[in-house]
Structure 1
Amino acid sequence: MSEPWNTDSPAVVTLPSGRRIRGRGLRHGLPKGQTADVAVHLTEHRPPAPPWESLWIPWRDFWLPADPVDAMRTLRVAYDRAADERVEVCCGGGIGRTGTALSAICVFEGMNPGEAVKWVRRNYHPRAVEVPWQRRFVRQVAAHTAGRG
């Protein structure tokens, strides 16, 4: 178990369960302070590996993950690990794909999809989940999660 994210760290959100996850844009560079234990990269091409563990979800800007079911599995791993590790979710700008992934993670917290998107927009970035099909993906996560139950 590592030390959790500081609550004053940039772009760290504290989920209702108490898990903390950092969202960020890769184009903005690495924030000062703590580093992640594991990063989930949401990019079209595999990015250079950071000096910590990373997971990659192939995901084009303004689109959906190339393999939605695999993306859901990877995001679930990130959610589970956030219980005792510093997890970050990042894409190019840190808004659309990152916000969509954070909304999916909120579904794992038990939020319905609409509530999850609103929560992320209120607590992370007001423009998170930029296009309608990203909202549809969050609904797919909810349906997939309910089907596992």
Structure 2
Amino acid sequence: MTELWNADTPKLVELPSGRRLRGRGLRYDLPEGQTPTFTVHLTDHEPPSPPWESVWVPWRDFWLPADPMDAMRKLRDAYERAPGERVEVCCGGGIGRTGTALSAICVFEGMDPKEAVKWVRRNYHPRAVEVPWQRRFVRQVHGASTGGTGAV
């Protein structure tokens, strides 16, 4: 089993279930210390492959994922992997898209979409989920998770 994230890891969030994930902005240097074992990149252009496993979700800054169902599947995979791996979710600045993705992951935890956004703003970054359509995406994740708009 992989050594999990240390509790003092920068930008680490610990979900109510105990799963730990790190959010990060790609414009900044990789933090010192542990590296991820799995990363979800939320960017408009495919990023260079890091030396660990990663997936790419095409997602323009201040917008929504190009393929919302594919994004939900990849975020669900990150959620499922978090109990045994060092999972990271990142975008350019590490706020809007990353915060939206972390909010979606909180929905997988069973949180109501509005509470998920509030929780991420309280526990990760106060400006996470920057625009109204990103909040709508979190609601869409909830609908898909409960059978409203498709399986995730």
TM-score, reference length from structure 1: 0.98
Counterpart of 2:50 in structure 1 is 50
Counterpart of 1:113 in structure 2 is 113
Q: Shift in Å at residue 29 of structure 1? A: 1.4
User: Structure 2 regions of 5+ residues with no counterpart?
Assistant: none
User: Structure 1 regions of 5+ residues with no counterpart?
Assistant: none
Counterpart of 2:94 in structure 1 is 94
Other structure's SS at 2:60 match: coil
Provide the alpha-carbon RMSD of the alignment.
Answer: 0.9
1:40-59 per-residue CA deviation (whole Å, 9 max, x = no partner) reads 00000100011101110000
- Does the alignment pair 1:135 with 2:135? yes
Question: Percent identity at matched positions?
Answer: 77
Counterpart of 1:60 in structure 2 is 60
Distance 2:37 2:2 in 1: 8
Distance 1:83 1:11 in 2: 17
Distance 2:88 2:141 in 1: 19
The letter of the residue matching 1:62 is: F
Which of the two has greater helix per residue? 1
Q: Shift in Å at residue 22 of structure 1? A: 0.1
The letter of the residue matching 2:118 is: K
Q: Shift in Å at residue 83 of structure 1? A: 1.2
Alignment coverage as a number of residue pairs: 149
The letter of the residue matching 2:12 is: V
